[in-house]
Amino acid sequence: MTTSLRFPLSDSNDDIQDLLMIMRALRDPHNGCPWDQKQNFASIAPYTVEEAYEVADAIARQDYDELRDELGDLLLQVVYHAQMAEEQNHFQFSDVVQSICNKMIRRHPHVFGDDQQLQQGKPDWESFKQQEREQRGDDADSSALAGVPIGLQSMLRAKKLQKKAAQVNFDWSNIDAVLEKLEEEIGELKQAVASGEQDAIEDELGDVLFCAINVSRHSKHDADIALQKASNKFEQRFRSLEQIAEQKQQDLKQMSEEQLDDLWQQAKKINY
């Protein structure tokens, strides 16, 4: 890599060292980028989450050129957090790499272990995680739900909580029971809407969504994928609806609910 930067890159053809050098330059308190200089863990965290979603989006669209770029953006987020941690004497990037290497070796004794461990096969990851929490001194939380981060995307967090509860037999016996519970929750949401109590509506809406994720878990479908497909289907149908309206020189804003529903039915025939 060649550059005329004031901060020269390494001569070792070590790409990761080049990236670390660029990050140090951006954060340099005297000659760095003003925006990068003032960032902290909290301000960067939303970008980290956003980049992970953009990686997932590139994968969903099978755009591998963009996937390469998005993975680079996500890697930059790791380097960014590691640089800030080093500045505060918490840890360095090399510690991050060593930590994940150690974890992968530790959690895969059926791959990296001795002959006896290889014969035992894949271990119980949940037991491994519990042991790790105890070794870190996190054993104060003995709940079956321990280890589910509050900061997880809400749909994923709900799924993880439900799976952990199911491991100690707190679960519905079959999907019919879950569907019955979903109908019950929808009924309670209707009552809340009728009452007009906003806090009650929010509470009951949350219960409906939580129960819907339970349905996805029992039906062996990923709720996030199902919702993404539903969103894609809606987008396709709505775009068709717009095209139909444009061909008829109709303004959606001026149409009645019945007229819009008629266009929607036409769009559905185009996009099943």
Sign of torsion over alpha carbons 6, 7, 11, 17: negative
Residue 9 has pLDDT above 60, yes or no: no
Spell out the domains of the chain, with CATH numbers in brackets: 15-91 (1.10.287.1080), 225-270 (no CATH)
Q: How confident is the model at residue 133 (pLDDT cuts 50, 70, 90)?
A: low
Q: In this predicted model, what pLDDT tens digit does every residue of 53-89 receive, in sequence order?
A: 899 889 988 999 999 999 999 999 999 999 999 999 9
Average pLDDT (20-43) is 96
pTM of the model: 0.62
Q: In this predicted model, what pLDDT tens digit does every residue of 168-221 receive, in sequence order?
A: 999 999 999 999 999 999 999 999 999 999 999 999 999 999 999 999 999 999
Instruction: Looking at 61-153, list the stretches that DSSP marks H as alpha helix, in order from N- to C-terminal side.
Output: 64-87, 93-107, 109-112, 115-120, 125-135
- Report the alpha-carbon distance of residue 48 to residue 75 in Å, rounded: 9
**What is the per-residue pLDDT for 238?**
96
Residue 240 has pLDDT above 90, yes or no: yes
**What is the per-residue pLDDT for 126?**
66
**What is the per-residue pLDDT for 153?**
83
Which one has a higher pLDDT value, 10 or 91? 91
**What is the per-residue pLDDT for 112?**
83
Q: How confident is the model at residue 162 (pLDDT cuts 50, 70, 90)?
A: very high
**What is the per-residue pLDDT for 109?**
83
**What is the per-residue pLDDT for 130?**
67
Residue 9 is classified by DSSP as: P
- Report the alpha-carbon distance of residue 206 to residue 9 in Å, rounded: 51
